[in-house]
Amino acid sequence: MTVPNDLTLELPPGWLRRPEPSDPVEYWAAPDGATGVLQVSELDAGDREFLSTQADLGKVAHAMALRLAARGQDWGSSGTMKQGPCGLGRFGVAMFTAGQFPVMILWITVSDRSAWMWTWLGPDPAANEVTQAFEIVLTARHGAP
């Protein structure tokens, strides 16, 4: 499945794009979104330039979530921060629990072409859908140049 700007995602069986247009773009693990929502939005070129110079994208993802929390969204307790390679280049992720949703995850992915922010908002930190969301993000890639 291709989203705007040629981002290609491999959705597991049963996953679908939110039926109504939304910004950010949303993908649901169940037809009503009750088991969690994966959101993705492209960041601007200036953000891509900044992110491409950062040594630890896990720390950057954590800081971005804290900035969202400062705007009134309860992200709860911070937990895991990681970074590494992904289908788009590099990723950073920060996972939070016991906030506005029982699990909230923020990823940053950056390549030489683009940068993306992804969030997972879900009811169960141990759900299979969390693992599936990680797979979607980490295997996302650019489509045609």
Domain ranges of the chain: 2-12+36-142
Q: How confident is the model at residue 1 (pLDDT cuts 50, 70, 90)?
A: very low
- Checking if the pLDDT of 145 tops 60, the result is no
- Checking if the pLDDT of 103 tops 70, the result is yes
With beta carbons less than 8 A apart as the criterion, state whether 118 and 106 touch.
yes
Peptide bond into 85 cis (omega under 30): no
C-alpha to C-alpha distances, 96 to 5, 59, 63, 119, nearest whole angstrom: 29, 13, 12, 11
DSSP β-bridge partners for residue 118: 40, 107
Residue listed under structure tokens 């997972």: 120
For residue 67, give the 3-state DSSP assignment: helix
pLDDT, tens digit (0-9, with 9 covering 90-100), for 50-102: 999 999 999 999 999 988 888 877 888 888 899 999 999 999 999 999 888 99
Q: What does the pLDDT read at residue 144?
A: 57
pLDDT, tens digit (0-9, with 9 covering 90-100), for 5-53: 678 899 999 999 887 777 788 999 988 888 999 999 999 999 999 999 9
List strands edge to edge, sheet with 103-110: 16-17, 25-28, 37-42, 115-122, 103-110, 89-97, 77-86
Average pLDDT, the chain: 89
